[in-house]
Amino acid sequence: MSYLDEASLPLPFCPGCGHAKVTHAIDEALQILGRPKERVVVVTDIGCVGLTDRHFDTNAFHGLHGRSITYASGIKLADPDLTVVVVMGDGGAGIGGAHLLAAARRNIGICVIVANNFNYGMTGGQHSCTTPSGGITATCHLGNLEAPLDLMGTLRPSKPGFLARTSVFADDVPALIARGLATQGFSLVDIWDLCVAYYAGQNTLTRNSIADMMAELEMPAGVHFEGGRPEFARAWRDLYHPAETADDEGMCLLPPDAGLAPVAESILAARTGILIAGAAGQKIRSLATVFGAGAIMSGLHATQKDDYPITVMTGHSAAEVLVSPVPIVYTGIEVPDVVLILSEEGRARVARKLAKLPPESRVYVEASLGPVETQARVIPLDLKGAAKEVHRLAVGAVGVGTILAAEGIYPLEAFEAAARRLQKQKVADTNIAGLRAGAALAG
C-alpha cells in the first residue's frame, strides 16, 4: 500500500531534483513501517521540499518556514502514538535552528528528514546554513565565507534517538528513514540532495562528486548516533501525570476548601489605601496577601498589587493593599491613607509618594530609620525591637498589627484566621505572634 496519493502524481519538482527521490523514499519507508494512514502525519516546512505533503495520502500539515518541528512536536505531545514525519530543507533547518536543537535535546519522537540541497531552492538559490565554504550562490557570488553546519556533529551531543546521513543517490535512503521512523525518540536523516536549478550547476556538484564533498568536509555518510533516552511525550506523562489510583473517580482539580468566608466583622467606614514598603526578604508580598485576605475574612473587599525587582534578597519590596466596605471599582490608590515603612529600601522606593501625602495620612515607620520627609503624620515605632522578641522575619507582621490596632481596620482575629488559612503552620505562628506584639506596641 503506497502512502502517496497516486492521483496527485507526478511530483512537481524540476527534472533531476533530488526532492522527488526523497518523497518516494519516505513513501517506501512508511510502507516498511506499515502504520494505518490515519496514524501518520507528514509535516512539511516551507521551500520546494514543502510541496511534498500535498502528495501524501496521510494526514498532512504544511506550516511556516522553519517551524515544522514545532507543529510536529505539538502533535506528538498531544497524541504520542502518532507517527510524525517532518520534511524540511536546509533553509528550514537554518531559520528553525533553535527548534532543531530543542527537539533533539528533548528527544521528542518525531522523524526529521532534511532534504539538504545546500541552498534555498524556492527563492532562487541563495546560500543556506549548509552551503560549503567557497560555494557560489545568488547571495555569495564570489564564494561563501561561512562554514557549513554539520547537522550530525551539532545534534550528536544531545544524544537523541537516531542520526544518519546519506545522499539521494545512495540505496539506503528508505531503510535509514524507516529506522528513523521506528525510533522511539527524536530521529534525523540528513539527505544530501542536488538542486539542479541553482546549486548543482554553479558549483559543478554531481551525483559522483557528492561523495567527494562528504570526504572533503569531513561529514561522512552513515549512522552517526543511536541512543536509548526515553521519548519526551511519553516521559513527560510518566513523570508528571499522577499514578492512577483505584479511587480517583470524582477527584476534583482543587482540594475542597472553605475559602475566605468571613469569621469577623469590620466596622471600616470608607475605602482605605495602605502602602507597605520594605526590603526584599521581609516577606512583604505574602504578608500583604494575608493582610488582604484578613480584610476579606472580616467582610471587606480588598485588592493587592506588588512592586519588587526581579532579584531576591536585595532591594525593595512593596505592596499596595486597598480595603473597602463596598466593592472596589478603581484599583488605584491616588493618595495612600496609611503607609508602613519597614526598611530603608522601602522608604526610598516610596519617597515620591511620601512627598505628596496630605497631612491627614499616617506614616508608621520603623523608628531607627530616622525622620521622614512628608507632610503626613509620622508615627515612629520600635518595630524591630518588638519583632526581636518574636522572630527576625516578623517585623512586617508587627507593623501590620500596629496598623490594625491603631487604625481599627478590622479585628485581629480575621488576620489570624487568614494566616491559618493561607500559610504553613510555622509561618502563620510567627506572623500571628508578630501581629499581637504589634498590636501591643500600638497600645
Partner 1 sequence: MIEFLEGNDAVVRGALDAGCRFFAGYPITPATSILTGMMRAMPEAGGVAVQCEDEIASIGMCIGASMTGQKVLTATSGPGMSLYSENIGLAITGETPLVIVNVQRQGPATGSATKGADGDILFMRWGTSGGLPLIVLSPESVHECYTLTRAAFDLAERYRVPVILASQKEVGLTRERVDLDEARAAMPPSRPRDAAPTDRPYVPHAFEQPDDVAPLSPIGGPHLLRYTTSMHDERAWLTGDPAVISRMMEHLRRKIDDHADEIALFDHDPDVGAKNLVVSYGITARSAREAVARVRAAGGRVSLLVLKTLFPVPEAAIRAALIGIERVVVPEMNLGQYAREVQLFADGREVRSVTRMDTELVSPDDVIREGGLL
Ligand X SMILES: Cc1ncc(C[n+]2csc(CCOP(=O)(O)OP(=O)(O)O)c2C)c(N)n1
* Near partner 1 in 102-121, by CB under 8 A: 102
Stated as kind and residue range, the H or E segment containing 189 is: strand 187-192
Contacts (Cβ under 8 Å, ≥6 apart) of 68: 43, 44, 45, 61, 86, 87, 88, 92, 96
Which does residue 347 touch among ligand X, Mg ion, partner 1, none (CB within 5 to 8 A, set by kind)?
none
Compute the CA torsion angle 68, 74, 77, 82 (nearest 10 deg): -60
Which of 18, 47, 135, 401: binder of ligand X (CB under 6 A)?
A: 47
Nearest to partner 1 of 131, 317 (CB atom): 317
Should residue 292 be labelled a site residue for partner 1 when binding is judged by CB under 8 A?
yes
Sole window of 93-101, 160-168, 180-188, 363-371 interacting with partner 1 (rule: CB under 8 A): 93-101
Give the integer Cα–Cα distance in Å for 443 and 439: 7
Residues in a beta bridge with 323:
272, 302
Least distance (Å) between residue 363 CB and partner 1: 21
Q: Quick one: which segment of 41-49, 171-179, 269-277, 383-391 binds ligand X (CB under 6 A)? A: 41-49
Residues 69-98 interacting with ligand X (rule: CB under 6 A): 89-92
> According to CB under 6 A, which one of 31, 59, 123, 375 is a site residue for ligand X?
123
- CB of 167 within 8 A of CB of 221? yes
Pairwise CA distance, residues 87 & 205, whole Å? 23
Examine residue 127 and tell whether it contacts ligand X (CB under 6 A): no
Q: How far is the CB of 155 from partner 1 (least distance, A)?
A: 14
Q: Are 342 and 367 in contact (CB under 8 A)?
A: no
* Cβ count within 10 A of residue 280: 19
Q: Angle, to 10 degrees, between the axis of helix 284-296 and the axis of helix 425-442?
A: 80
Each residue 6-45 as x (binds partner 1 by CB under 8 A) or -, in order, gives -------------------------------xxx-x-x--
Nearer to Mg ion, 65 or 285 (CB): 65
Judged by CB under 5 A, which stretch of 113-121, 139-147, 164-172, 401-409 contacts Mg ion?
113-121
> Residue 15, Cα to own-chain centre: how many angstroms?
44
Which residue, 40 or 386, is less far from partner 1 as judged by CB? 40
Q: Which of residues 265-294 bind ligand X (CB under 6 A)?
A: none
Binding site for Mg ion (CB under 5 A): 89-91, 117, 121
